[in-house]
Chains A and B, each alone.
Chain A
């Protein structure tokens, strides 16, 4: 199975990278157009998509899971089609904790890699986003832990 590579280059950043067996134009469209987003962003859950894909435009996705609505929202800060875009990302029940995600799309031999870099205001925000409630010590540990678990696994 194709897995996501995760790294934490600094205490307030999270980088994820995943390759798809599809051309860049299609993967770009899947990330930026409502008709595509509603097919995958909800992970199989119903997803209501509102998206105004232009700099200064806003987006709002409401995923319904386990009978509960989970609204996410943000604003597009930068767009350079079909290579990169940057949006703000906020989970409405945790309003005020705003992350900034930059997505970069690169194609090689018909396969497209999506790399997202998420920047949080504080490490606590990043850790909160990762739904852990943990306070400290996470920064360089994840990468080391990944390597370590492979070693002992």
Chain B
């Protein structure tokens, strides 16, 4: 999978507020499906579907210890998305930092 395709998958996964809430919860630590489903007015089955999407996007991994199936967040794809956003921001920050410096110089020239 190319990075671009993966970023598309990550954004598609993040486009749902329930899935973002699940990630926010997992950012605080591992949890079981039942624990994840508790705050939501939807079934554990519906939460499982969301987990499938997150897993496919590479944002979570599911582990199996004894009979407990736990989920944990996988930060790498989020870092890819963050650096993608950062590239665009960087372009403008470089441009605007140059402007900031230039404006300083201009003001020093003016008595």
Count: A-B pairs, CB below 8 Å: 112
CB-CB contacts of B16-34 with A at 8 A, as 1s and 0s?
0100100110010000000
Chain B residues near A137 (CB, 8 Å)? 8, 11-15
The answer to whether B96 touches A18, judged by C-beta atoms less than 8 angstroms apart, is yes
Chain A residues near B100 (CB, 8 Å)? 2, 20-21
Closest Cβ neighbor of A146 among chain B residues:
B85
Q: What is the total number of residues of chain B having a CB less than 8 Å from a CB of chain A?
A: 39
The answer to whether A16 touches B92, judged by C-beta atoms less than 8 angstroms apart, is yes
> Which of A44, A138, A139 has its CB near the most chain B CB atoms (within 10 A)?
A138
B95 at the interface (CB under 8 A from A): yes
- Write the nearest CB–CB distance from B4 to chain A, whole angstroms: 4
User: How distant is the Cα of A137 from the Cα of B15 in the complex, in angstroms?
Assistant: 5
Chain A residues near B95 (CB, 8 Å)? 40-43
Question: What residues of chain A have their CB less than 8 Å away from a CB belonging to chain B?
Answer: 1-4, 6, 16, 18, 20-22, 26-27, 30, 36, 39-44, 130-142, 144-146, 148-149, 151-152
27 A-B pairs with C-beta separation under 8 A: A1-B97, A2-B96, A2-B97, A4-B96, A20-B96, A20-B99, A22-B103, A26-B107, A27-B99, A27-B103, A30-B102, A30-B103, A40-B95, A40-B99, A41-B95, A134-B8, A136-B11, A137-B13, A139-B15, A141-B11, A141-B14, A144-B17, A144-B20, A145-B14, A145-B85, A146-B85, A151-B27
